Each structure stands twice: as C-alpha cells, then as structure tokens.
C-alpha cells in the first residue's frame, strides 16, 4: 500500500563554533525524503550520513573524511568523577540507611 503524504519542505542548518561543528539538511517531496547530516568527531574526522526515506524505508550511507588528529587526546569527558570516589560515596550513604 503506497500512501502519498503531502508535506513538501526543505530545511538546513549549520553550527560551527570553537567546540562544535555539525549540520543537517533535508528535502522532501511526497513520500521521498533525502538528506545529509555531518559532525566533526572528537578524533578530528568528519562523519557524513547521506540518507533517503522512501515509502517508510530508510537507506543510509555513512562515510568519514579526514585523518584522526591529536584533538582526541585533548578531549575531556563531561564528568571527571572516578569510580573509586563513587564507591566511597555509596558506602557512606548506605551506612546511614535502615534496610
């Protein structure tokens, strides 16, 4: 069963500052949607995903551009709490609990 959905559109955006570089664009006509999104990964490569959605089936082609850089070595995770400190904190909280 092929259902034609009305809702033709185009959009695109790009974010590019000192810490982030990514974008997305999409074009739709009826049941055919095509788009691309990309992002610079922590290792310095750019990941690009070209996709098509046709009658509820999704097809994607993922590629990588560039070489890995030292940028990954400078990557800092959002949390720097160590596992040991979490264990210690958990033990302290359990002591005061009535089980």
Burial track 27-37 (b if 16+ CB lie within 10 A, e otherwise): ebeebebebeb
In a domain, 35, yes or no: yes
Amino acid 31: pLDDT: 86
Q: How many domains does the chain have?
A: 1
Low-confidence stretches of the chain (pLDDT beneath 70): 1-5, 71-99
In a domain, 2, yes or no: no
In a domain, 1, yes or no: no
In a domain, 3, yes or no: no
Q: Quote the CA–CA distance of 76 and 56 in Å, as a whole number.
A: 39
In a domain, 78, yes or no: yes
Residues 8-28 pLDDT 10s = 999 999 999 988 999 999 999
Print the domain residue range for 64: 9-95
């Amino acid at each position: 069963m092929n259902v034609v959905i009305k809702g033709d559109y185009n959009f695109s955006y790009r974010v590019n500052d000192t810490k982030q570089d990514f974008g997305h664009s999409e074009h739709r006509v009826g049941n055919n949607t095509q788009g691309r999104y990309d992002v610079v990964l922590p290792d310095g490569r750019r990941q690009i995903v070209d996709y098509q959605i046709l009658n509820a089936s999704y097809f994607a082609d993922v590629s990588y551009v560039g070489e890995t850089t030292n940028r990954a070595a400078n990557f800092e995770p959002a949390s720097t709490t160590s596992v040991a400190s979490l264990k210690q904190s958990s033990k302290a909280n359990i002591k005061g609990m009535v089980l």
